[in-house]
């Protein structure tokens, strides 16, 4: 595929992919008959179970069977999904990546490197083979909730934090300092504070983020644009990395509510985009998932999908790479899959967990393979 020019806008680039893109490959059948439970594995260490918080398949076809799982105790675990769960051969390796919960995990650099975003206010860069930390990204003053790599340049990434900021990082930048073990400390190249600032911040229990928190961030496929979402409201904001002083635009659903207080409760738990970057989903705390076309953001969401329960900011969703289906966790202990072109058709329901279903992911190269994690300490 021809590499995008840096000067092209988000809308020009996305229109090119939408109109002239290659033929889509299906990731599941229209009936959903692909789905049979392959089993589940319990996440735990030294005899103690722990809730998984994020899941991520490798992105290259060679390694796409490998699933990274991060958890509340700060571990990263790698699983071979070719082996039926549970099995002694399923777990490839695990290690302590942080002394705090890891809220997001991502593969970069042809699946040789892992990014981890943690409650200790840092992002770490890991050599996946050696399980060795290659860098620590420091600058946030709150838990790091989300991280997203650049679509083509694996040295660039963005992060979002509970402190209300998002930051841009370049792994090529010279380290500001080093630890005793020669691990480089890197500071951000740019940071935007108060990106989703709310007039009221309040204390809330686990799973209910502070109102200033940015809960999800995406580096969009045009290579220069960023999408952010927060706990304060249902607005998705779009930014140009070449000029971060003001947002380019924002999109939000027209939520019918009798009071301003009710509207403020509808924060967003996660964002996702399809492989071509034309469609973006936002999981909202009003128990709906909104689908946006980035070519028509001014029109608001083109569709919405209901049936799941999104009662905490740990419940995530993901659009399939071919943009044909949406997969979501749910607070009722189920996972749901909708057909994008048939939002009014009841979703496929997967009854694989006994607790809130949180993080989800699509395998990029195996049709019908998905991963779900849950508060019941398992990954399926």
Contact between residue 108 and residue 60 where contact means Cβ atoms under 8 Å apart: no
pLDDT tens digits, residue range 224-233? 999 999 999 9
Domain boundaries defined on the chain: 17-379
E strands in 139-183? 144-149, 156-161, 166-170, 177-178
Which residues fall within 8 angstroms of residue 203, CB to CB, at 6 or more apart? 210
26/37 Cα distance (integer angstroms): 20
pLDDT tens for the chain, residues 1 to 380: 333 333 344 334 444 434 333 334 455 554 455 566 678 999 999 999 999 999 999 999 999 999 999 999 999 999 999 988 777 789 999 999 999 999 999 999 999 999 999 999 999 999 999 999 999 999 999 999 999 999 999 999 999 999 999 999 999 987 776 655 557 788 889 999 988 875 454 444 455 555 789 999 999 999 999 999 999 999 999 999 999 988 889 999 975 544 555 444 589 999 999 999 999 999 999 999 999 999 899 899 999 999 999 999 999 999 999 999 999 999 999 999 999 999 999 999 999 899 999 999 999 998 889 999 999 999 99
Q: Which of 153, 227, 246, 221 is nearest to 11 (CA)?
A: 221
**Which one of 3.40.830.10, 2.130.10.10, 3.30.1360.120, 3.10.20.30 gives the CATH number of domain 17-379?**
2.130.10.10
Contact between residue 55 and residue 41 where contact means Cβ atoms under 8 Å apart: no
Angular region, 238: left φ>0, alpha ψ -120 to 50, beta rest: beta
Q: Which of 368, 315, 318, 309 is nearest to 51 (CA)?
A: 315
Contact between residue 319 and residue 340 where contact means Cβ atoms under 8 Å apart: yes
157/177 Cα distance (integer angstroms): 20
229/167 Cα distance (integer angstroms): 14
């Amino acid at each position: 595929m021809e590499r995008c020019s840096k000067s092209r806008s988000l809308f020009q680039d996305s229109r090119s992919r939408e109109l002239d893109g290659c033929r889509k490959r299906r990731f599941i059948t229209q009936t959903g008959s692909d789905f049979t439970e392959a089993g589940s594995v319990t996440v735990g260490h030294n005899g103690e179970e722990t809730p998984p918080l994020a899941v991520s398949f490798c992105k290259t076809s060679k390694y796409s069977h490998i699933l990274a799982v991060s958890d509340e105790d700060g571990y990263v675990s790698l699983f071979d999904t070719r082996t039926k769960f549970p099995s002694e051969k399923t777990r490839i390796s695990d290690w302590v990546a942080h002394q705090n919960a890891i809220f997001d995990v991502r593969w970069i650099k042809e699946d040789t490197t892992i990014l981890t975003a943690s409650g200790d206010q840092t992002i770490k860069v890991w050599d996946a083979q050696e399980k060795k930390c290659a860098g620590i990204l420091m600058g946030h003053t709150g838990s790091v909730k989300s991280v997203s790599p650049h679509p083509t340049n694996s040295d660039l990434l963005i992060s979002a934090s509970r402190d209300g900021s998002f930051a841009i990082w370049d792994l090529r930048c010279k380290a500001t300092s080093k630890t005793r073990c020669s691990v480089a400390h890197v500071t951000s190249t740019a940071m935007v504070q108060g990106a989703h600032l709310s007039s009221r911040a309040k204390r809330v229990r686990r799973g209910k983020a502070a109102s200033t928190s940015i809960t999800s961030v995406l580096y969009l496929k045009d290579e220069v644009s960023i999408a952010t979402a927060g706990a304060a409201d249902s607005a998705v904001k779009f930014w140009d990395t070449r000029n971060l002083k003001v947002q380019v635009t924002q999109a939000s659903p027209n939520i019918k509510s009798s009071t301003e207080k009710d509207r403020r409760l509808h924060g967003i738990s996660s964002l996702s985009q399809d492989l071509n970057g034309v469609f973006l989903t936002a999981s909202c705390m009003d128990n709906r998932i909104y689908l946006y076309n980035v070519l028509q953001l001014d029109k608001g969401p083109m569709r919405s999908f209901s049936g799941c329960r999104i009662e905490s900011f740990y419940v995530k969703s993901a659009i399939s790479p071919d943009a044909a289906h949406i997969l979501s966790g749910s607070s009722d202990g189920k996972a749901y899959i909708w057909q994008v072109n048939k939002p009014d058709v009841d979703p496929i329901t997967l009854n694989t967990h006994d607790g809130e279903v949180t993080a989800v992911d699509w395998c990029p190269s195996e049709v019908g393979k998905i991963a779900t994690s849950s508060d019941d300490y398992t990954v399926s």
